[in-house]
Structure 1
């Protein structure tokens, strides 16, 4: 696997409440994570950074317990641990009350992508020139789309698009969604925050993937999001089904 990621504050926000982590694992496997914090300037930063710290530690210390077939349980436990940490910290510090963070976490091994997520940070698979969304947003607007109240096109500019219905740290328990798909050589997994997807259409992202090299794509995606308004923090993390190389910028 090869990894490339970048995060950017955007053009409007003063602070970056996004965070991401990634790393290689034994046997040619890899993991990646994108978090988008919420709950005020300090709360958002603390939530995303704290969740990333806990999840990274879980992979470092407990991945050896994740036997074949246990990926769903492992990822759910990882996000549950992060949820507990953020919720406890929010409960104990008045200035952090109400903080939380989205999370989309991936484990790639043995030709499969295993995903667990809460919130509207997304995962896409780039295959044969097309991006396919693998996650389903946990948001109020997505619920309106699901029940047919509004169209996907109307959802793109809905004034309540920022209302999240599931996240880490807002309750003592969390119910993340899990999915798994095949990943083939030359495929690329994209994990990203909504600061990218809200300002760069999928068709434009596909053009960037097709035009630029693997390690240049995160920079170009962020440039496109800033050119499209840059009204939020932006994070793009790639995991490529290739021999191992790592870049974290």
Structure 2
């Protein structure tokens, strides 16, 4: 919990909460969902404003991410995000497939979308760079989960809500583990309209030489445009893109260290 990290942890929790609204937000809205008493929350917001981590609009009486936070976010993207390394590969994959391409990483049991390259005719969907989504019912999430070692996978599976978004959503740890075994055998994952109606994808993990999970890349389309067989035909290109990203990442700032993870078939 943030309280165990003192004032800094509390301030970061408030910052995360404000940013999570995705729009300028009033004090009363933050207070409604806050675990902090009104005076504490007000003090933390004022501190964040004084440090330019949040901005305050006096006319509208709203809080929003501040210039300093935006600057830090850009620095993080440039220095430690897989997105910078992956960018040219995502552009190329989208151009070849004429479909939407995603790049994602695991973030505390969820999927964090790092980048998105739209098709020539984009389709409205949940995913956007900077958004988080469930790991158990997205192609990128399952592709990454399948490559974690048993202890890591168990820890993340325990964090899943297993909400039934669609009729085909996996809703139990047992069903998910069966799916992850199949993903390891074939080397890529599918989203079979499990998160959003009409949205399907094929995804492959981005792995270091020792099998450590860096992220995942996917090609996403709709059932109105193609089917799973059509996406599966793109599997070699998706996997080649993931491997190219991994090679470039190894040359940059992602040393091949850390817990050894499982490898997929054909790796």
TM score, norm. by length of structure 1: 0.29
Structure number with greater CO (CA < 8 Å, separation at least 6) is 1
TM-score between both structures, scaled by the size of structure 2: 0.27
Higher helix fraction: Structure 1 or Structure 2? 2
If each structure's strand is expressed as a fraction of its own residues, which one has the higher value? 1
